[in-house]
Amino acid sequence: DAEITQSPRHKITETGRQVTLACHQTWNHNNMFWYRQDLGHGLRLIHYSYGVQDTNKGEVSDGYSVSRSNTEDLPLTLESAASSQTSVYFCASSEIWTGTDTQYFGPGTRLTVL
Amino acid sequence: GNSVTQMEGPVTLSEEAFLTINCTYTATGYPSLFWYVQYPGEGLQLLLKATKADDKGSNKGFEATYRKETTSFHLEKGSVQVSDSAVYFCALSGAQGGSEKLVFGKGTKLTVNP
């Protein structure tokens, strides 16, 4: 069965370190998204991609970057981790452009920045 | 801009009670509307959706009707079960200027007691 996976599931790091969160999907979807989930804020979009070599900034992109070198993967990098980036991160993917399509979510990565 | 407002939680009900979670939206154009559910420790999964006015989405006993005149998409279930305990998110996409990006409400935590 097709799926979307994230790794690691839990990560503790220190302020100032570079961290990369992995997202891998086997749906062969063109669109991939990264969200962060914080209490009182719901989910907020960090970055998204409509295909290979395409990346776009979302609502809360400062301090984060992504790259899309193939269809299956969209890694999220925190260049210099800050305590404000402690959160749960979700990756998602969808097939088509129209806005009617379902997004499929990964299980999440809980990141703690000390 | 595009936004979603849903009722504040938490909501606590007894098994077999009637559930309503209110959701209203602000958007230009003709968005699609979604309810996603997040069970403890998991990622989000689609519960139901509606892509045009007066459409009713339904799944697992849950229903929501896309009301353009009141800009609402309230979630209802006639008889909740303990297994329905989760966080519920209302979301929209496909609004003008937003394409397929999802805009989420802040979530409503539902606890159902036996």
The whole-number average pLDDT for the span A13-21 is: 97
Q: Judge: A42–B107 Cβ closer than 8 Å, yes or no.
A: yes
Chain B residues within 8 A of A100 when measuring between CB atoms: 32, 49, 51, 93-94
A96 vs B contacts (CB less than 8 Å): 100
User: If you average pLDDT over each of A74-83, A101-110, B90-99, which comes out highest?
Assistant: A74-83
Q: What is the CA radius of gyration of chain A?
A: 13
Give A45's contacts in chain B (Cβ within 8 Å).
101-102
In angstroms, the CA B29 to CA B91 distance is 15
Burial B61-96 (b: 16+ CB within 10 A, else e): ebbbbbeeeebbbbbebeebeeebbbbbbbbbbbbe
Confidence check: pLDDT of A101 > 90: no
Measured between CB atoms, which of B95, B100, B106 is closest to A42? Answer: B106
Please give the average per-residue pLDDT across B52-61, as a whole number.
95
- Compute the distance between CA of residue B85 and CA of residue A22 in angstroms, rounded to an integer: 29
> Looking at per-residue confidence, does A106 or B41 come out higher?
A106
Overall residue count recorded for chain B in this entry: 114
d(CA B40, nearest CA chain A) in Å: 11
Q: Which two tokens stand for residue A33?
A: 């998204």
Chains A, B: CB contacts under 8 A, how many? 59
Average pLDDT of chain B?
Answer: 91
Residue A41's pLDDT band (boundaries 50, 70, 90)? confident
Distance CA B58, CA B29 (A): 24
Contact list, B42 vs chain A (CB under 8 Å): 107-108
What average pLDDT does this structure show over A48-66? 94
Residue of B nearest to A49 (CA): B101
Whether the pLDDT of residue A32 is over 80: the answer is yes
The reply to whether A101 touches chain B by the CB within 8 Å rule is yes
B96 or B113, greater pLDDT:
B113
pLDDT tens digit sequence for A63-92: 999 999 999 999 999 999 999 999 999 999
pLDDT at residue B97 tops 90: no
Residue B43 has pLDDT above 70, yes or no: yes
The answer to whether the CB of A32 falls within 8 A of the CB of A104 is no
d(CA A51, CA A20): 20
pLDDT over 80 at A2, yes or no: no
**Angle, alpha carbons B61-B11-B93 (nearest 5°):** 60
- The answer to whether A68 and A77 have CB atoms below 8 angstroms apart is no
Q: Do B43 and A105 touch (CB under 8 A)?
A: yes
The region that residue B31 occupies, defined by phi over 0 for left and psi between -120 and 50 for alpha, beta otherwise, is beta
pLDDT score recorded for residue A48: 93
Q: State the smallest CA–CA distance between residue B6 and chain A in angstroms.
A: 11
In degrees, to the nearest 5, what angle opens at C-alpha A60 toward C-alphas A30 and A12?
A: 90
pLDDT category, A98, cuts 50, 70, 90?
Answer: low
